[in-house]
Amino acid sequence: MRLLLLILLLSVLCDAEVPHAMQVNSDEDLKYALFLKNPILYKEQIHQEGKALFLKRCSYCHGKDGSGQGGFAADLRRRISKESAYYTIKNGGNNFRGSFAGGMPPMIKDNSKAQSVAQYISLGMPKSHPGALVYQQTNCARCHGESGHGRKYLAPNIHNFDLKTITMILKNGKNGYIGLMQSFNYLSDEEIQIIAIYTLSLSHSHLVGE
């Protein structure tokens, strides 16, 4: 009788630890990721939240499905009115043929900073203009180049990395062969974790049912 109880207790405990819906033995990492939360919670909350964060913060470089993409950023040295530059900086843009799906994301919330850098561009990017500092701080150069000439930019496929690596890269950024990815350490640990789990799930969509 005692033995039976023990077995019962054990099976309840085991069940609690690894619910049936989560037995995704084919991938240790995903199991670990889902193990942090219950799988239903994952699907309904983490997944939705992760998706929203990923679309906002990652997809314009890495693509909606994380498979990576590249494109050309506009040459800012041609004549652009301040109003038009301001509009694009505030709202982003995805009009030109040749720039990839995703185009330019909205870059600057702060109106006066956006005004300043828009004026800097409309004036032909004079070095002494205060907007030069905004251009530098916001790292517009990673797509448009230091001198605004517009360059080809790429972000790699981010499938098949493990959770620890993704988390580390999100915290520290990465400056590698392809280019610079800035750190996302201004996000909360929880947001980083959610994005990392969602990123991981993009390589295993068959396991999380999307």
Q: Is 71 in the site for ligand HEC (CB under 6 A)?
A: yes
Residue 96 in contact with ligand HEC, rule: CB under 6 A: yes
94 binds ligand HEC (CB under 6 A): yes
**8 A C-beta contact, residue 132 and residue 125:** yes
Distance CA 46, CA 107 (A): 26
Q: Is residue 37 close enough to count as binding ligand HEC by CB under 6 A?
A: no
Closer CB to ligand HEC, 34 or 121, in the complex: 121
Question: Does position 163 bind ligand HEC by CB under 6 A?
Answer: no
Regarding 58 and contact with ligand HEC (CB under 6 A), the answer is yes
Residue 178 touches ligand HEC, criterion: CB under 6 A: yes
Q: Which stretch binds ligand HEC (CB under 6 A): 14-22, 25-33, 35-43, 86-94?
A: 86-94
- The 3-state secondary structure of the chain, one letter per residue: CHHHHHHHHHHHHHHHHCCHHHCCCCCHHHHHHHHCCCHHHHHHHHHHHHHHHHHHHCHHHHCCCCCCEEEECCCCCCCCCHHHHHHHHHHCECCCCCCCCCCECCCCCCHHHHHHHHHHHHCCCCCCCCHHHHHHHCCCHHHHCCCCCCCEEEECCCCCCCHHHHHHHHHHCEECCCCEECCCCCCCHHHHHHHHHHHHHHCCHHHHCC
Which one, of 108, 194, 105, lies nearest residue 155 by Cα? 105
Closer to ligand HEC by CB, 46 or 74: give it: 74
Binding segment (CB under 6 A) for ligand HEC, from list 11-19, 23-31, 89-97, 202-210: 89-97
156 touching ligand HEC, by CB under 6 A = yes
Out of 24, 34, 125, 158, the residue judged to bind ligand HEC by CB under 6 A: 158
The yes or no reply on residue 194 touching ligand HEC (CB under 6 A) is no
Binding site for ligand HEC (CB under 6 A): 57-58, 60-62, 71, 73-74, 76, 80, 84-85, 88-89, 93-96, 99, 103-104, 107-108, 117, 121, 135, 138, 140, 142-144, 153, 155-156, 158, 161, 166, 169-170, 174, 176-179, 181, 184, 195, 199
